[in-house]
Structure 1
Amino acid sequence: MSERKVRGKTFSLLEEHIPIDLVDSMKHILENKKSDADTWKEKADAWERLAEKFAAQSGIERTWKTLRDKYDHLNKKTRSEFAAEKLERYRTGGGVASSTSVSAISEKIGAIIQTASTLDSFNNVYNNFLICSISTFDRR
């Protein structure tokens, strides 16, 4: 029979901030979109260095895979929070969003992955309605 996976210790709030700051210093490597063998090796080495720095700063040993999985989870959570905020803005017609808020961790990750600027379409010069109207007009 297969053995159950042992659950790791829960990250504290401080432990969530440390890897994000470390990722920010290595974002040119870790957020690289290339996927060849050299890039994967460079990313794995960067995650190992990040795990060493994390242990030095926090005093808690975490594997690089655990830190990467936590960062990936926070990254997904960030995208979800920004999408919920954008949806709420569209619901309110660009007014004040009523119930959604983006966490401080998500703000940091958003700055790293630069989704905050791409998800904020209200600052766009072009309006979705105008684009839809033009494309509809061209088909006639």
Structure 2
Amino acid sequence: MEKREGGHGHQKESGKAVGPTEIRSDGQKLSVLQQHQRPIPRSKRGKRLFSDFGRAKLEQVPYTKKGFNNTAQHVWGYFKKVATQEEKDEFFERLENCSSLPDEFDKGEPAAEHLLSYIKETLLISHPKPYLNQSSILK
């Protein structure tokens, strides 16, 4: 795949940088989130090995505490220049509460949901980021 980047290594949407992009050899543009999605497993003939339902089940693997923390800090990067000190303090207090999460957990763990709901219901409302609205972790 050929990588092309707009602006300073970020895709442009309404004149704002929203994240790195990659353009595949077939011309399809992929966001960072799309680049890291697992492809649908296919047989040698190109047929899907799993239905869309099967794909959904594959994507329901547990989160790891380390991966969740890394993702949350990555998401924070979209707000760090526009968030108030109060929003920053609240975000990192909720992130600190996630240190009590088990090493592997499913979506719905209270500490993780507490942080994700703050991102969705406060930060994304105060500082809209269309790119983050596409994130599967925030759905």
Please report the TM-score for the alignment, with normalisation by the length of structure 1. 0.29
Query: Of Structure 1 and Structure 2, which has the larger fraction of its residues in helix?
Result: 1
Q: Which has the larger radius of gyration?
A: 1
Q: Which has the higher contact order (CA 8 A, sep 6+)?
A: 1
Query: Of Structure 1 and Structure 2, which has the larger fraction of its residues in strand?
Result: 2
